[in-house]
Structure 1
């Protein structure tokens, strides 16, 4: 019981240690901090380049599409900052470092997340929020209390959703140590997928990623609700307002996959 009571302070100590360690070489840290913005900037620039040759993308104009880009970028960058380093669990399983984590009187997942928290990715999350802010300010949205609440909830829920994808795909390492490429297809591939309106995709691909896997509820449907637009794909308008709720079952499922894999894990023996 005493161990549990001291857990928050222990996690805080891990976080402080990581911050001090990463900031000790200030020049290197600042270079990494600025350099890591590039990936998110590239996502935004790619969409803007497309609008140099077309007036609409999947039936949406540039400002409307940029709201989706902003929601997706803010959500993914926040998840990558806070949860993305769980991808390193493959290395921990391979080298036996996970054994040392499991003998401590703390939760394995929080420890792993705090062991190498990539603070250098902070500006990526802030840039995503900035893109979203500029996009919604330019869209002429009819603001109501409900839309303001959705604007706050959607990127946070999207971050939880992407975090769940990170955890679930990283958990594959307990069964398949070289599952990295599969995991990247759903994490970084999911980020790319949510950057564009779902109307640009078609057939089984759209059905699987938009609805079955839930990626369409990260940015596309919240954007429709913010804009007051009817879904060209035919779902009712209330779906956009309920979209952030998809993050809850995603997080629960990811937790189940993680715990199942952890129970299956056998010591590396090193």
Structure 2
């Protein structure tokens, strides 16, 4: 209970600080939402050029985009601030977190939390709701559960990617662009059907790293479509398992990084 109270105080302090200037906070919320809006708009614009992408029409593709948008926005709002780790390592500010009687990762997330990103979560959920309403989905109890399960598991997966890539800063401080390639790059990959990619790129990133399970396979299960690439239908339900594996890997990388870290001495 003491830890929960401490975390609550950190969260309240961040909320008060960021909402002190209401006009600025409101603008930040709007601009943050626009960033995700442009990602969704890029998919719509692409379909103005071609009515079919990888065997999927716009309504079907938007289900994939909606799941990805909701999942990534939730992960980014909840734990995306872990990207600031490289700054804390370089300046020595991480030492202050490690000296406190609380785990470092929750402290880092809460002290660097950006509340303006909450508008992206709302926008992502709206995009998903509109997409599934427009798509030809025959609703069953299982699919109703999947529409909640898929973006939730996707958020956990992206959160694990944020932690794992940020942890590289313990060994390589200026690793930010490498991390962005897997976090924001992974989001950009996942908003399109996997069939739009080919060769080694699809094998490594979509299958090897698990990005195909974030939205593509759950969308196939929702749409009751067989995979054009021949994968079994049960892959539409494995996203929680993949997310759990990703969390395990991220935890191992984080713990190894913490053990490797040496104070700057400042």
TM value normalised by structure 2: 0.99
Count the aligned residue pairs.
266
Shift of 1:97: 0.5
Tell me the distance in 1 between the aligned counterparts of 2:5 and 2:235: 40
Say if 2:154 and 2:239, in contact at 8 Å, map to a contact too: no
Shift of 1:44: 1.0
Q: Equivalent residue for 2:13?
A: 17
Deviations 1:130-153 (A, max 9, x none): 011011011131111110111001
Shift of 1:35: 0.6
Residue 144 (1) aligns with residue 140 (2): yes
Q: How does 1:1-270 map to 2 (within 5 A)?
A: 5-270=1-266
Shift of 1:54: 1.1
TM value normalised by structure 1: 0.97
Say if 1:217 and 1:244, in contact at 8 Å, map to a contact too: no
Tell me the distance in 2 between the aligned counterparts of 1:178 and 1:138: 43
Say if 1:74 and 1:125, in contact at 8 Å, map to a contact too: yes
Say if 2:84 and 2:112, in contact at 8 Å, map to a contact too: no
* Runs of 4+ with deviation above 4 angstroms: none
Tell me the distance in 2 between the aligned counterparts of 1:138 and 1:127: 17
Shift of 1:203: 0.1
**Unpaired segments of 5 or more residues in structure 1?**
none
Shift of 1:39: 1.5
Deviations 1:51-73 (A, max 9, x none): 11211111001100000110011
Deviations 1:52-107 (A, max 9, x none): 12111110011000001100110111111011110100000111110000010001
Tell me the distance in 1 between the aligned counterparts of 2:78 and 2:201: 29
Tell me the distance in 2 between the aligned counterparts of 1:45 and 1:261: 38
Shift of 1:245: 2.0
SS at match of 2:238: helix
Say if 1:71 and 1:154, in contact at 8 Å, map to a contact too: yes
Deviations 1:219-244 (A, max 9, x none): 10000000000011111001112233
* Cα RMSD, aligned residues only: 0.7
Say if 1:154 and 1:222, in contact at 8 Å, map to a contact too: yes
Say if 1:171 and 1:257, in contact at 8 Å, map to a contact too: yes
Shift of 1:50: 1.1
